[in-house]
Structure 1
């Protein structure tokens, strides 16, 4: 009976990955080119583009407290349905605004609204993966979920390469289609009955929950990691176009390599890292990020940039499952959605600061590769320090618990 339940749980994790994969085809077509769209199509200054991304991520941060509560009280599946419905509405509005030649203000505002469904969905999906995975198998479950949905990040950028040259409205239309398909998949295949979280009255006291010092330290590490990781959404494509002189349309191939590397190497990395802790995986992953971005400073061709992306994505493969596993293991089950929302908020804060910081370095250092990417790498160093402080605090906490248990046994 237990094995049947475990098999059913694994199937649901795969279904969650497929639901997100379907929509990732659409979002994967948008993200490699959206910064270039603002800069080249809408002809917005570099600093305005950075501000738009910062406001986008700030919107996600503001939404996180509500999204965590929705996941814990409304339920995982209903929250995902709400998020998918919002994806459809915002994607449709973006498509119409572009087709009707709406102003840059309207289009950028709608893009900022795109942060709402993403912020709502993230804690619910990750909390459900946590619900469906045993205590010792959370990292594997998150890795499986991530490997599946990243297949969409292979197909999406390749569609983006084609549609970017034909017209950006086609990319927005693709996002509408994939959002509808993802919603239908969730409604048909995702079973929310066994996951934690259900519709109930929310008491005033439930709106607040305490975060201890250690998880805040871990969250600060996530913040610095997000500043570092987010550079390939803004600074890297602009640096590639202006300094490496790569055709902007070809940057979609770099994103596709990101998805391919996740799908191909994530299972291999999982097997290699089984003997190591999640925290060791986090630190090693940040080092790969730093090395990958630093290598960009000396890149002159598209093949070299693709190799840099493989290194950067290896860092992503090491950190992404581990950070979710750490939060999932650390949080009380009835508050997993809110803890995931806190981690997502810290990631959002880093993502908000990242574009402005990266573009500021690009502008201030006049696109100097070594100065720009070495400065950005300092955020990775700060992340490692925070993660090591968290690990040290956890060890002291465990020693304290063991000492108390020994005292009770002596009595």
Structure 2
């Protein structure tokens, strides 16, 4: 944990505060099906609209993070999230619930690219896997506590979940406002084309990066089943909200206990191997849920796919940070976040439909198949890349070696090297 900038730890604190109140998304499907009596398909639709809002916000938030600044984007998004989350607890009409859930998706996901870009701005390439792992650790400390506590709060009334979530998001915004400074690199008057902010078109033309985004989307559809299909499946099997809260809370607890030692073990491993291994564990872990019939077995399945998350999450975020030019990190992180947001639209819808029409065995079996396909894709895409060089590393190499003689070849730009991979 040593050697990281002080502002990183304030960001880490804001993330922890935010996730300590992350009640709503985790329990939304259970609230809709058990407390309100809606079908699994409707719960999947609402969760999908949340994901659709997040898909839009991921791209817009990334653009704003590069244009108006990381800090400003985070503050506006967090204040908006607090307001609409509180509102979601009081609307009752099915259409109103769906619409407000979509707004929550927009506001809550708009800050993600800005946060990830700020982390990449603050931390040098050699420490990024460690920094993203620590941030993911904070997310899961908060998630583990909130999931366990939320089941108890829900027993007193679900409205308190929405109000508590809104309050903690507001506190997160206060931490950012008081302690976090802007990190968006300034554009020098003599900046070259490669130093200017990349447009979305340039990001979309980065074929290797977009392939990474596509594979992440496939994995994301599997990962979404933990917050939607799993809760409905357990509810239909007669398990209570408190039991589901304890089972899903194990996810956060395991990350808290294992993220640091596992990250140390990951040092020096190739990105392809890490992402493939993590993806297989996630896909097969969810697939094991088809055989679950007790709280203990459900807990075992959560343990398996949580190990996959621990391996996959920091490695994937570090790869994205290394691929992105400094002033385009918001756009690259936004496009990467789009994969998860789009998955949070498709995943719950597909999971709810499969559960209603084909049963749990088909839904969980599909998770294992999709996870295997995504793992093979990661391995194929990144197997030739022992490490990922970033634009920062390339610049350092040029500075150490000194200027290229006039008679020699011109140095390749970061963008040119990146597009040739």
Aligned to 2:323: 330
Aligned to 2:107: 117
1:240 aligns with 2:230: no
Shift of 1:118: 2.0
In the alignment, the residues of structure 1 paired with residue 233 and residue 333 of structure 2 have an alpha-carbon distance, to the nearest angstrom, of 32
Shift of 1:79: 1.0
Shift of 1:365: 2.2
Question: CA separation of 1:177/1:361 partners in 2, compared to 1, >3 Å: closer, same or farther?
Answer: same
Aligned partner (choices 165, 185, 190) of residue 196 of structure 1: 185
More helix by share: 1
Aligned partner (choices 69, 72, 85) of residue 75 of structure 1: 69
Contact 2:46 2:97 in 1 (8 A): no
Aligned to 1:3: none
Contact 1:64 1:120 in 2 (8 A): yes
Q: Tell me the TM-score normalised to structure 1 length.
A: 0.87
Shift of 1:347: 1.7
Shift of 1:47: 1.5
Unaligned stretches of 5+ residues in structure 1: 1-5
Question: CA separation of 1:204/1:179 partners in 2, compared to 1, >3 Å: closer, same or farther?
Answer: closer
Q: Spell out structure 1 runs of 4+ moving beyond 6 A.
A: none
Shift of 1:42: 2.2
Contact 1:147 1:266 in 2 (8 A): yes
In the alignment, the residues of structure 2 paired with residue 391 and residue 340 of structure 1 have an alpha-carbon distance, to the nearest angstrom, of 18
Shift of 1:385: 2.7
Shift of 1:177: 1.4
Aligned to 1:52: 46
Shift of 1:10: 3.1
Shift of 1:378: 1.5
Question: CA separation of 1:336/1:19 partners in 2, compared to 1, >3 Å: closer, same or farther?
Answer: same
In the alignment, the residues of structure 2 paired with residue 140 and residue 343 of structure 1 have an alpha-carbon distance, to the nearest angstrom, of 19
In the alignment, the residues of structure 1 paired with residue 291 and residue 186 of structure 2 have an alpha-carbon distance, to the nearest angstrom, of 49
Aligned to 2:267: 274
Post-superposition Cα deviations, 1:292-339, rounded to whole Å, max 9, x if no partner, equal 112212122112212221211111111111111010011111101100
In the alignment, the residues of structure 2 paired with residue 378 and residue 204 of structure 1 have an alpha-carbon distance, to the nearest angstrom, of 39
Summarize the alignment of residues 10-409 of structure 1 with structure 2, pairs less than 5 Å apart. 10-27=5-22, 29-95=23-89, 97-98=90-91, 102-192=92-182, 194-196=183-185, 206=199, 208-211=201-204, 212-243=206-237, 245-367=238-360, 369=361, 371-392=362-383
Shift of 1:72: 0.8
In the alignment, the residues of structure 1 paired with residue 198 and residue 304 of structure 2 have an alpha-carbon distance, to the nearest angstrom, of 45
In the alignment, the residues of structure 2 paired with residue 197 and residue 305 of structure 1 have an alpha-carbon distance, to the nearest angstrom, of 50
Shift of 1:205: 8.5
Q: How many residues align?
A: 382
Select between 215-224 and 56-65 the one with higher mean Cα deviation: 56-65
Post-superposition Cα deviations, 1:126-148, rounded to whole Å, max 9, x if no partner, equal 00111111112111110111112
Shift of 1:392: 4.8
Question: CA separation of 1:276/1:392 partners in 2, compared to 1, >3 Å: closer, same or farther?
Answer: closer
In the alignment, the residues of structure 1 paired with residue 210 and residue 29 of structure 2 have an alpha-carbon distance, to the nearest angstrom, of 31
Unaligned stretches of 5+ residues in structure 2: 188-195, 395-403, 410-421
